[in-house]
Amino acid sequence: MTKNNEIPMSFLIEKQSLKEADGADELKMEIDETNELLYGVNDTPSWPSLIAMGFQQTMVAASGAIVLPLLIASFVCAEHNDAVKLKLIGTTLVMVGVATVLQTVLGVRLPLLQGPSFAFLPAIIAMVKLPEFQCPTSAGTLINGSDNGHDDLVWMPRLQAVQGGYIAASSVQMLLGMSGLVGVLVRYIGPLTVAPLMALLSITIVDKALEQMSLHWISLVSVAALLLFSLYLCDVSVPLPSVTFSPYSVKAKKQRIFGLFPYLLAIILVWTMCLILTYTFFGENDKAARTDLKVKILYSAPWFRLPYPGQWGMPIFKAGVIMGMVGGTVASVVESVGDYQACARVCRQPPPPSHAVNRGIFMEGFGCFLGSCFGGVAMTSFSQNIGVIGSTRVASRNVMVAAGCVFIVMGIFTKFGALLAMLPTPIVGSILCVASASVGGVGLSSIQMIDAAKSRNMSILGLAIMGGLMIPRYLHLHPITVGPPAFKDTINILFGIEMLVGGIIGFILDNTVPGATRAERGLVHEVQELTTNNRLQKSVYQLNDPISKRIRTNPILSRLPIIG
């Protein structure tokens, strides 16, 4: 048996041994024997477990799905407009669900949850610093909680500019996937690119998680509960009632509920504690953990609302905003490729082939395009949910489909989304902390694939992480001030993203510095190509037979790089 974060050695079979293999069945059996997952990618849990596991995934991603729309509302001068914020949250939740279902079923076909992308946030911040987009300072221009015509003139043009940038950037991402360019690059993206990228992703979240956790000590209780359930009690079985109807019987059946639902149980436990302490112990200094301060969001939310395209009006296309958003697209694509490889490792699957990566990037761009047209935010694969897969050992694709459906229901029935928005901020920070730590661990675990005895590899890893931290911090202190505004904004935004800079440094050095073979660099794509006919890989990365057969019979569609 292998450890949770180790890829089975079956995937590292040499070319000669593959030629001598008796068939795909033998290789598939060997991989299955090394699999410690409770549910594999193609497995489907029972309906109650499926819904509960899907809901758990939504709870982990809920912080980003709610926080980013609220941040955008504040940047476009709608911070005090509850109606706009609720519309943004509802639209984002619906489109997150739609994008998740599309990516899981038609995209890369790994259990990846799509969520709002923070990679585009630097472009929005740069936009609102421009004189024409700065918020008015007059108190009379922002009317608290209103949605009147004068208020519309303040926030709507800014939101339309954000929407236009999202649409342009998502179109570029779809082109990258459809052209097959990403699939070509993925052959040269190895552990020395993925490890620093994922590590820097976790490091950059430290400030945000610390900011939220430091609001109240209840966040430490939440972290302790998460660690207790996911690490110490993960293998403890608890007898639960089980009902069968043919014939009818009720009996106790042991379930690993702590290992299956660590995040959900921790959230329920700590949220209940906050509810009790709100009416028994918490005072004025405990506002961050009180459960009664956000009740007005629940009361003001409508019961039902269906988002529609163009709800903010016609998008506005600004060159500087578009260039910044395209820079965010580059960062998002690099992060997504790393997420695909990390998710494949956690799910005990071979690295995704080039056609699956192309299709995943295309479908991710298509999801962003839909979300932008409907007035939501751009989306990317959520790394935190990969950490949940690693801790729960539930890699079922259908669990992510269920999570997407839960998001859609939450977005349409706005009261549910508003209830989720009432989750105390310190608890959100603790979830972000633990899930991001798991992501960083998964990313760093990929260095076991390289030859760590070579100083060349260790130097590249260290330089990538150090450069990813230093260059963005330098540009933050000394931003580029020469050249056209679009050029300055693009450079400052692109090289101000830690994970992008670290990933680029690792990629360039790994592919230009001599002194190591592809095997010593941890590149296993030769094995990936050799196992293209493997029945396991077909069942995971290729489209379902009815869809695949129709595409393959079409002379045009069958030649696209997104078709395997």
Cα separation, 207 vs 213, in Å, equals: 10
Does 428 reside within a domain?
yes
Whether 1 is in a domain gets the answer no
Q: Report CA-CA distances (Å) from 312 to 88, 129, 164, 231, 371.
A: 10, 22, 11, 45, 12
Q: What angle do CA 108, 340, 97 make, to 5 degrees?
A: 60
What's at 40, amino acid-wise? Answer: G
In a domain, 564, yes or no: no
Q: What is the C-alpha separation between 149 and 142, in angstroms, rounded?
A: 11
Residue 465 within any structural domain of the chain: yes
Please report whether residue 2 resides in a domain.
no
Residue 174 lies in a domain: yes
pTM, full prediction: 0.72
Q: In the chain, how many domains are there?
A: 1
Per-state percent for the chain, helix, strand, coil, to nearest 5: 70, 5, 30
- Whether 105 is covered by a domain: the verdict is yes
- For 336, the domain range is 9-559
- Is residue 227 within 8 A of residue 440, CB to CB? The reply is no
**What per-residue confidence (pLDDT) applies to 464?**
95
Does residue 157 lie in a domain region? yes
The sign of the dihedral angle between the CA atoms of 179, 183, 187, 191 is positive
- CA dist 373 and 376 (Å) reads 7
User: How would you write the pLDDT of the chain (564 residues) with one tens digit per residue?
Assistant: 334 433 333 333 333 333 333 333 333 333 333 447 888 888 888 888 888 888 888 877 776 677 778 778 877 888 777 778 888 888 999 999 999 999 998 888 899 999 888 777 767 776 777 667 777 765 444 444 444 445 677 788 888 888 999 999 999 999 998 888 887 777 788 889 888 887 887 887 787 788 888 988 999 999 999 899 888 987 888 887 766 655 667 777 777 788 777 888 888 899 999 989 888 888 778 888 888 877 877 887 888 888 888 888 888 888 777 877 887 787 788 778 888 888 888 888 888 888 888 999 999 999 999 999 998 888 888 877 887 888 788 889 999 999 999 999 988 988 877 787 777 888 888 887 887 787 788 778 888 888 888 999 999 999 999 999 999 889 888 888 888 877 777 777 778 778 778 888 999 999 999 988 888 898 865 444 444 444 445 568 877 767 766 776 777 776 777 776
CA nearest 53: which of 519, 400, 307? Answer: 400
Query: What is the pLDDT, as a whole number, of residue 167?
Result: 93
**Tokens representing 480?**
């580029």
